Amino acid sequence: MLDITNQRFGRLVAQWPAGQTPDRKVIWLCLCDCSRLVTVIGNNLRSGGTVSCGCAQKLIASACSAMKMKHGHSGKRTPTYFSWRNMRQRCNYPKDVNYVRYGGRGVTVCERWNTFENFIADMGERPAARTLDRIDPYGNYEPANCRWATRSEQEANKRGKRDILRTKIELPLAA
């Protein structure tokens, strides 16, 4: 038997042998940093398979949850988040299928909205059955030019077909 008394393994300190498994592996009584006593198979301690009484997993989960806890969204991908992400995609990434109608036409996202926190502070949560709309369809995505609009409001606010055709074939508009 390998003596690991008083050796530290993550958050655990081996105290003394507490028995054996049926296949003759030594079980150790360990004191965790959180003050709980647990029994652990010695091989699991030495391999790093067990590093706490379970409190480390809870700490990791809590830390991950805190990192995901952005903007009150608890890490979930919400409609508001998707609206923000899609706005940035179509304006900033040439490989996006809508880039030609947005970023390719010169439509930009204001610098403040490069972070979701600022976007949601300015726009609030996306209401049900509404999407992000630019009040002036020729303007950029910025607080003064955006709103949450219904589909019918957006349809009434579109650029004319003549403008869209001009964008696709990149010709100046005839007088």
Burial level of 123, CB count in 10 A (0-12/13-18/19+)? middle
Domain extents in the chain: 8-68, 79-169
Structure confidence by residue, pLDDT tens digits, 118-166: 999 999 999 999 999 999 999 999 999 999 999 999 888 887 654 554 5
Percent of the chain past pLDDT 70, that is, above it, reads: 81
Structure confidence by residue, pLDDT tens digits, 52-89: 888 877 777 666 555 554 555 555 688 999 999 999 99
- Assess whether pLDDT exceeds 50 at residue 115: yes
Residue 164 near residue 137, CB atoms below 8 Å:
no
155 to 73, 134, 161, 173: CA distances (angstroms) = 30, 12, 12, 22
Structure tokens at 106: 């010169």
Amino acid 142: pLDDT? 96
d(CA 127, CA 150) in angstroms, rounded, equals 10
169 to 101, 106, 139, 172, 173: CA distances (angstroms) = 12, 15, 21, 9, 11
d(CA 158, CA 154) in angstroms, rounded, equals 6
